Structure 1
């Protein structure tokens, strides 16, 4: 049962990230067809993630109360249909609406999947199971970039959305065949659906390690989505690659490299956890400490040095993926079974409202700003303020009055995006500090949970014994 469920959950997670990242794979084609700015391109990711995060909170509570396989199947089916609908968008507004719908469907994936994994695998095997499930992340991102660039160059960006929708329908059917496990069945101390008294959201936020994990999620996802939106465009502009070549280099650098990080990170985290309770978070901390300078060195390579960029950025992204295997497992270590869907929803709310939603549009705004500065210094555009330039209401007026066209910025976009990408290693350095702080509180939080589950298990056995005795007497 557990093996089949893990395979299906992995496949669903792969399509989750494939359908999400396909925008990054074909985004440069969309931007050129509709003459969009980098800010607008980033906005496609932002609107998706904002609704994803908001809807994720009630869906997290639903994952704690309902049958998770049905919830998962409905979500996969919904986002697959709306991914196909993205391909028929006639303008930017219609594409945004379709992506909003994809966000609603995908918001079911993580709360339901992680809750199932927590009940299917014991604590000693959980990080490895989570790592296998999370392999869908690098594979989905990598395939979306690689296949997206190939489809974009061969048939145009719309076909990519049609093709992406098909496997999701198959996954929706496969999810219905998962056998629903009892909640808390994989724990050392069975507690069923019991939890502490109080507001579920406040109970989760009262755990110190969870607060650090939530902050780490925002920082990490800012970087992940900034890279996801702009690695392929960066390769096209700065390193002058074709869509096809940039897509597959981005696939290896940003996607497939994560396979090693996830598998090695999960195995190492489980091994170190067996020796010390803070072992998983220490593995995550060290991985980010290594990641930050590698990314900085990758971005410092000159235009055309694709091999060195790919080697350094691929290594940096690879170790960065260890974060998922370590942090997701730690969440299960400090939160009781009946609150894990809620905890994951809160975590994902921060990841996507503060992280993923700001990553693409924030990096896009920075790119537009540095692009404008470079163009202004070169005398290519009128030296208007950046705020006026980026105002949607005034942009057409500027075009009429000054003869300004956004296409005049194209020769300077490579320089602007290159400078903006340095945001990523800076935030990675801060993330390492946050994870280290979490490692200092996790031991006491794990002990608190184990003590509570031990007491609750004793009460459960006493109540069950009394119930059996009453049945015998009757």
Structure 2
């Protein structure tokens, strides 16, 4: 009489994350997240410290607002142009190795900002900062997600993206304080030293071998190209109309958020008569609200779209509408508590659509090219928002005044709203296109 051996149940995700499988531990993925997140904060500290020293540069080098804006926009422009090609290189050369090179480059370039003697030298140094920071966001989040199970990817993505706002806060606040007490050059030097210390620690703790040992990518729902499975064509990043709407909507909503990151220190300095250090602290409070709003709005979006994913488009629309009204009215008012309240409320929702648009890109692209899809979203965010926004306001401020320019800036949300409405309507078509890719991959054709 034969005996039936019961089949061994499939391991749970918790078991896969446990210390008993392939040398994995529960702690190491969080260590990777913590160090990668810390470098992201250093990234944005190096990028946004410039905003805190605008008054010093304007006075010492007799710069106009458009020149100041160009020092900010050159970084975002490089990020927008280089993110996708550098992300592709990192996937082949090694993500950990690439992140180390990036962090060293932007830290050394920030040190060059500290010794710049004129506008042209500062612009060249900021160019190098942008090259170093170009693909860090997309490669960094890809590294983090590779060591965590898919069930926590949305939460980690939202938290990681919000790190840019928190890094901006520290860069602006600390940069302003250091500039007042030690001089603006020390503001850049401090950010550079902080970045170099962090990257040294990252290099010691995070290695390609350890990351591979703790990889959770084998739990992905679709075959991974690295494992010899189907890889969707790069063209699929641009042939899904709903995904294109998410790119445009995400980039357009970052237009105003980028302006708040760059110009609120100057706004408080000029219209509230605050010294640069106090203006930096006041602006930092607004930026904290921007980052907090990204996290909270991401959580709200997950709740709204828990059963019907398509509803995430609607939450993004709501966030854009609230910020549009609050910031337009707020910057149009005279200075005072009511204006500050509206600016803070608008700032809280200013980048709230980042989570929903990222979720739509992730949900409507094949897993084998998802990192490239996030890189493409980063390109849109930078070209349409982080690079374009501060520069446009700088040009308008030279002609109309900073207050009037800031009042017009939220109109960019109208572009985002149109894109999100179209994306909502095209979402079913986007799902069908993704399903067609899934059927093709299941057919075994490479």
Task: Tell me the TM-score normalized by structure 2.
Answer: 0.85
From 341, 347, 351, give the equivalent of 2:381: 351
Mapped to 1, the partners of 2:392 and 2:417 lie a distance apart of 21
- Residue 141 of structure 2 is matched in structure 1 by 114
TM-superposition CA deviations, 1:104-131 (whole Å, max 9, x none): 1101311212322443444442221112
| 1:108-147 to 2 correspondences below 5 Å | 108-147=135-174
| 1:121-270 to 2 correspondences below 5 Å | 121-176=148-203, 177-178=205-206, 179-181=210-212, 184-193=217-226, 194-196=229-231, 198=233, 200=234, 202-253=235-286, 255-270=287-302
- Residue 412 of structure 1 is matched in structure 2 by none
From 82, 100, 103, give the equivalent of 1:76: 103
SS of the aligned residue for 1:275 comes to coil
- Residue 380 of structure 1 is matched in structure 2 by none
CA contact (8 A) 1:118 1:332 kept: no
Please report the RMSD computed on the Cα atoms of aligned residues, expressed in angstroms: 2.4
TM-superposition CA deviations, 1:239-293 (whole Å, max 9, x none): 222212211110001x111343122222222233321122333222211111111
- Residue 89 of structure 2 is matched in structure 1 by 62
CA contact (8 A) 2:177 2:277 kept: yes
SS of the aligned residue for 1:185 comes to helix
- Residue 441 of structure 1 is matched in structure 2 by 426
Classify 1:225/1:457 alpha carbon distance in 2 versus 1 (closer, same or farther; 3 Å).
Answer: same
- Residue 275 of structure 1 is matched in structure 2 by 307
Classify 1:87/1:78 alpha carbon distance in 2 versus 1 (closer, same or farther; 3 Å).
Answer: same
- Residue 351 of structure 2 is matched in structure 1 by 321
Matched, 1:341 2:345: no
Query: Structure 1 unaligned runs (5+)?
Result: 371-415, 464-474
Task: Tell me the TM-score normalized by structure 1.
Answer: 0.80
SS of the aligned residue for 1:65 comes to helix
Classify 1:132/1:354 alpha carbon distance in 2 versus 1 (closer, same or farther; 3 Å).
Answer: closer
- Residue 16 of structure 1 is matched in structure 2 by 43
Mapped to 2, the partners of 1:457 and 1:6 lie a distance apart of 32
CA contact (8 A) 2:149 2:216 kept: no
Classify 1:281/1:16 alpha carbon distance in 2 versus 1 (closer, same or farther; 3 Å).
Answer: farther
CA contact (8 A) 2:58 2:64 kept: yes
Query: Structure 2 unaligned runs (5+)?
Result: 1-27
CA contact (8 A) 1:18 1:164 kept: yes
Alpha-carbon distance, 1:361 to partner: 1.9
- Residue 292 of structure 1 is matched in structure 2 by 324
